[in-house]
């Protein structure tokens, strides 16, 4: 009898694993739940206003993105102004008067993905491996838990609500062995596409909230918004002169 019970437990476990939907199915369902691939593909550019609040202090962030992979992000907060940009595959950053070109590795890959307009609509470009690993409950709502491995960088863990298909949580590795945990509190639907409006994030005991204040699609954006700043162009000339 004991051997029979052990066998039944093993068979039951295998059966439960087999009933989990594939990660590809869950990720594609998310696209449909948020508006559908056709709506994603109709968007040619985006202007997004956000507010990030940390310990009662707020930073205002303005992001421009284009379908061709250009981006310019401008943040103004208590510590001054910072920028992140992508133009023709060149990623750059600036804090105050100090500018950098992001040349290789995970930092560059993350910047390029951040520049990708509505990148959830073509997740296959970023994940070399995906797997549904288990189920879990968040706030009493059953979720599927996925492991996704990007082409550059360590695996991320994603939670999707089983009923709605919406993404509700992500745990991602950061530098120096730290993990960041982001939980989506609220969605809204500007331009017919549902996006996270309120996200709570925790990193090494520090908590902050990101609120998307406004999103507009397919608006005129001057070419100068995406142009490489003059100090970045000088850095690039020095780099190529040394080759």
pLDDT tens digits, one per residue of 49-102 = 999 999 999 999 999 999 999 999 999 999 899 999 999 999 999 998 899 998
Q: Please write the tens of the pLDDT for every residue from 2-48.
A: 454 444 444 444 444 558 999 999 999 999 999 999 999 999 999 99
Q: Is the pLDDT of residue 160 over 50?
A: yes
What mean pLDDT do residues 170-188 have? 89
What mean pLDDT do residues 212-232 have? 96
- pTM here? 0.87
Tell whether domain 21-241 is in CATH 2.50.20.10. Answer: yes
Q: Is the pLDDT of residue 110 over 90?
A: no
How much is the pLDDT for 18? 55
What is the C-alpha separation between 67 and 150, in angstroms, rounded?
Answer: 21
How much is the pLDDT for 16? 46
Map out the domains of the chain as residue ranges.
21-241
């Amino acid at each position: 009898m004991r051997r029979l019970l052990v066998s039944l437990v093993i068979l039951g476990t295998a059966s439960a694993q087999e009933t989990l939907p594939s990660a590809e199915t869950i990720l594609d369902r998310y696209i449909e739940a948020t508006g559908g691939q056709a709506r994603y593909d109709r968007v040619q550019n985006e202007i997004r206003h956000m507010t990030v609040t940390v310990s009662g202090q707020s930073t205002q962030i303005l992001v421009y993105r284009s379908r061709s992979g250009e981006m310019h992000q401008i943040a103004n907060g208590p510590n001054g102004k910072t920028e992140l940009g992508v133009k023709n595959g060149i990623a750059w950053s600036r804090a105050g008067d100090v500018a950098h070109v992001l040349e290789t590795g995970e930092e560059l890959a993350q910047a390029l993905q951040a520049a990708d307009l509505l990148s959830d609509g073509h997740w296959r470009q970023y994940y070399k491996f995906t797997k549904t690993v288990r189920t879990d409950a968040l706030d009493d709502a059953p979720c599927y838990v996925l492991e996704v491995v990007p082409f550059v960088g360590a695996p991320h863990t994603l939670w999707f609500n089983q009923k709605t298909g919406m993404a509700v949580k992500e745990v991602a590795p950061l530098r120096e062995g730290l993990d960041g945990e982001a939980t989506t509190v609220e969605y809204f639907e500007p331009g017919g596409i549902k996006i996270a409006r309120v996200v709570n994030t925790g990193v090494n005991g520090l908590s902050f909230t990101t609120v998307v204040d406004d999103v507009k699609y397919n608006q005129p954006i001057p070419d100068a918004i995406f142009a490489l700043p003059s100090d970045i162009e000088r850095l690039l000339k020095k780099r190529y002169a040394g080759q």
